[in-house]
Structure 1
Amino acid sequence: MIVALLNQKGGVGKTTLALHLAGQWARQGRRVTLIDADPQGSALDWSEQRSREGLPRLFGVVGLARDTLHREAPELARHADHVVIDGPPRVAALMRSALLAADLVLIPAQPSPFDGWGSGEMLKLIVEARIFRPELRARFVLNRCDARTIIARETAETLVDHDPPAFTATIGQRVAFADAARTGRLVFDVDPMSAAAREIAALAAEVERLMR
């Protein structure tokens, strides 16, 4: 299974979600490779920091910020149970290549009308990719979300009947993610029973149920 986290809007948490999904599946014994397709290389930076901290490697991180991704990712997938692509912001050729590589596209979005409007171009690219990959699946993931707020509830309700719809699992606005990342950790390295760790586990399980 190749899962790509994509959104042309920056700052929506693609790298955080990509790292944590990869980590969750690795903790469950899956063979996982994460492709850092963002020219900024944040996932690679995280991996290097983890190594400097002397922490065990959970999964491989490969830098592939180029538009041949759709040819190279399937080759990596032959040697892994899951490949997770941390996608680029606003690089059309890279984005198209990631879409052609993926079995499932996750679109992280914050509960805000601005994020919804900003996803319009992303949805057009998905429609375009389905000409070549009609089996391509896509889902929104509500990230940095306070479920108690009115706008979060309204966003979730709106996306239920949207195409693509949103996953039921949402990820909260939690400082635990940033605190863990600074030292090359994931939230379950710090506290496997934390709310953040439980949310990631729920999202990972929902992804796997969809792709069975």
Structure 2
Amino acid sequence: MIFGVLNQKGGVGKTTLSVNLAACFARAGARVLLIDADPQGSALDWAAARQGPPLFSVVGFPRATIHKEISQLGQGYDHIIIDGPPRVTDLARSAIMASDVVVIPVQPSPYDIWAAEEVVKLIAEAHIYKENIKSVFVVNRKITNTAIGRDVRDALAAYPIRVLDASVAQRVVFAEAAAQGQAIFEIDPAGPAVAEIEAVAAELMEYAK
């Protein structure tokens, strides 16, 4: 399965979600490839910061030919995560075309909800060429017990894209893990962040069927 994690707005936690979803799938025994398609190379930086053996493969491929080369790049892997670029470009279009499911992380903020329109348009364009592309919103970096955290689902209902029931809260452990090139389950295996990522991964896999 190929999951493209995209949102044209920066700072939504794209790389954090990509890395930890990849780690979650790998922890379950799958062979996982994380493709860093963001020219900023944040996922590659994460991999470079890691001291221990890799949890999964990470390659940099910020080129607008991902959809043409994904079958060769992903040969032998069970799941591929594409950490997409933060702008609407040919590279973003290519990452969408390469994906089975486009995962759109959205922070519970009006700016993020408005900005989601751009990636929704790109997905609609891609449907013309690849009808079976699926797409979902994931509420990410949610601040618990706030009105905007609760209302974001209603606001996203304006778009013709499903919002996952599972969501991910804003937690310091994500930054702590990233600084060490680790996944959150290595930092706090029994913590709520791990449970949230596992819930998102399980729902994505169910939706992707």
For the superposition of Structure 1 and Structure 2, which TM-score range results when normalised by the shorter chain? over 0.9
Q: When the two structures are superposed, what TM-score results if normalisation uses the length of structure 1? A: 0.95
Residue aligned with 1:9, SS: coil
Distance in 1 separating the partners of 2:172 and 2:112: 21
Q: Residue deviations 1:148-202, cap 9 Å, x none?
A: 1111111123435741021011000101000111011111001111011110000
Please provide the CA RMSD for this pair.
1.2
Question: 1:72-91 to 2 correspondence within 5 Å?
Answer: 72-91=69-88
List aligned pairs for 1:97-136, cutoff 5 A.
97-136=94-133
Residues 1:70 and 2:74 are matched in the alignment: no
User: Who is 2:178 aligned against?
Assistant: 181
The question of 1:192 aligning with 2:189 is answered yes
Aligned residue identity for 2:78 = D
Aligned position for 1:56: 53
What is the distance in 2 between the residues matched to 1:74 and 1:178? 32
SS in 1 for 2:136: strand
Which of 166, 169, 173 is the equivalent residue of 1:169? Answer: 166
Residue 8 (structure 2) pairs with residue 8 (structure 1): yes
Which blocks of at least 5 consecutive residues in structure 1 are unaligned?
A: none
Shift of 1:121: 1.1
Distance 1:108 1:59 in 2: 22
Q: 1:17 is matched with which residue?
A: 17
SS of the counterpart of 1:98? helix
- The one-character-per-residue Cα deviations of 1:91-140 (angstroms, maximum 9, x if unpaired) are 51100100110000011110111101111111111100000011100000
One-letter code of the match for 2:35? I
- Could you tell me which amino acid in structure 1 is paired with residue 54 of structure 2? R
Asked whether the 8 Å contact 1:2–1:77 carries over to 2, the reply is no
Q: Does the 8 A contact of 2:113 with 2:156 survive in 1?
A: no
